[in-house]
Amino acid sequence: MKYLITIVGPTAIGKTALSIKLANHFNCDIISCDSRQFFREMTIGTAVPNPEELATATHHFIQNKSIFDNYTVGDFEKEALIKIEELFQTNDYAVLVGGSGLYVDAILKGFDEFPAIDPAIRENVNLNYENLGIEYLQQQLETLDPEYFQKITFENPQTLQNPQRMMRFVEVCLGTGKPYSSFLNQKKNNRNFTPIVIGLEADRNVIYDRINLRVDIMINEGLLAEAETLYPNKELNALQTVGYRELFSYFDGDFTLPFAIEEIKKNTRRFSKRQLTWFKRKENTQWFDYLTDQKNIIKYIENHLI
């Protein structure tokens, strides 16, 4: 039996430290599924494990791509599953860690299959979005797939503001003549491992305090200079993320620096809330307070090994 020990939870909760502890205990490697730590140009703002942490356990998918690469969650799924299969040739364990819920899901259960879409339809949807804004995509999805529109409005409303995902929903509807939701849950993706999912949590105020402190540390470590080097490429998809976007607005003259820093803290807190909402919906996750003795977490995992 092969086990993928998976650690989830909001940002700044202590997932990296726990993942290293577990990797050392089970003598195995770590697969990172943090969607921004893939990029080598982004170090401080993505809280990449420091050199000492990286040296303590073997990590994969840390700064292995460039911001100029077109790298999707589907690409990650394929590459990570190949790496996990490789690791399981010589070990019964691997650790998966990250706060990007979509990427965790890609590894644990995979995605649904969708038919190919005519590039002309994709281009037209993109053009309409550029001319008419996100409201066009929202109206289209509500018309073409009202069931799915209502579902994400209730369960994951921030998705309605995500143009990439909304364009995908609409292009599938237009390209197939069927609702996007009709392609969901069509087949089960088989995995050759058993996941053991550990969630770390804390009181909201504790999480927020840890986030505020982390942002202050990032600023002191040189986040402003790092963002300045990336500013000429600010339109790249990889850089549409908290911690950089706000500083780009400072460079544009729209924010003062103190206001930009407070915006980073505020938006990171909002992001952590969305992370918890995502992960709390998942079944079969055992949640632990972030201060729980790591020995107790190891004991829980060992009790669930067959």
Looking up residue 84, the CATH number of its domain turns out to be 3.40.50.300
Domain boundary among 183, 208, 227: 183
| Chain center to CA of 165 | 14
Give 48-102 pLDDT, tens digit per residue: 999 999 999 999 999 999 999 988 888 899 999 999 999 999 999 999 999 888 8
**What's the Cα-to-Cα distance from 16 to each of 7, 113, 143, 262, 273, rounded to whole Å?**
9, 32, 43, 25, 19
pLDDT at 185 exceeding the cut of 80: no
Least confident of 4-8, 85-89, 161-165: 161-165
Q: What sign results for the dihedral spanned by CA atoms 10, 15, 16, 17?
A: positive
Structure confidence by residue, pLDDT tens digits, 265-289: 999 999 999 899 889 988 899 999 9
Q: Is 258 annotated as a binding residue?
A: no
Report pTM: 0.79
When pLDDT is averaged across residues 96-122 and rounded to a whole number, the result is 86
21 & 57 share domain: yes
Average pLDDT over residues 237-252: 94
What does DSSP assign to residue 49? P
CB-CB contact of 6 with 195 (8 Å): yes
The answer to whether 12 is a known ligand-binding residue is: yes
273 marked as binding residue: no
On whether 11 is known to bind a ligand per the annotation, the reply is yes
Q: Identify the CATH number of the domain in which residue 160 sits.
A: 1.10.20
Domain shared by 105 and 124, yes or no: no
Per-residue pLDDT tens for 27-49?
Answer: 999 999 998 999 999 999 999 99
> Is 13 labelled a binding residue?
yes
- Do 124 and 208 lie in one domain? The reply is no
From 133, 151, 183, the end of a domain falls on 183
What domain count does the chain have? Answer: 2
> Containing domain of residue 232, as a range?
3-111+189-303
The whole-number pLDDT of residue 28 equals: 98
On whether 159 is known to bind a ligand per the annotation, the reply is no
Statement to judge: residues 246 and 262 lie in one domain: yes
Angstrom distance (rounded) from CA 268 to CA 229: 22
Q: How far apart are CA 167 and CA 150, in angstroms?
A: 17
To the question of whether residue 14 is assigned a binding role by annotation, the answer is yes
Q: Which of 134, 152, 183 is the last residue of a domain?
A: 183
Mean pLDDT over all residues of the chain?
93
Amino acid 288: pLDDT:
98
- Report the helix count and the strand count for the chain, using DSSP H and E: 13, 6
Look up residue 63 and give its two tokens.
Answer: 């700064």
Cβ 30 vs Cβ 5: under 8 Å: no
By CB atoms closer than 10 A (0-12, 13-18, 19+), residue 225 is exposed
Q: Are residues 202 and 262 in the same domain?
A: yes
Q: Is the pLDDT of residue 186 over 70?
A: no
DSSP structural state of residue 282: -
Partners of 211 in beta bridges:
none
Express as a percent the part of the chain with pLDDT over 90. 76
* Burial group, residue 177, by CB count within 10 angstroms (0-12, 13-18, 19+): exposed
9 is an annotated ligand-binding site residue: yes
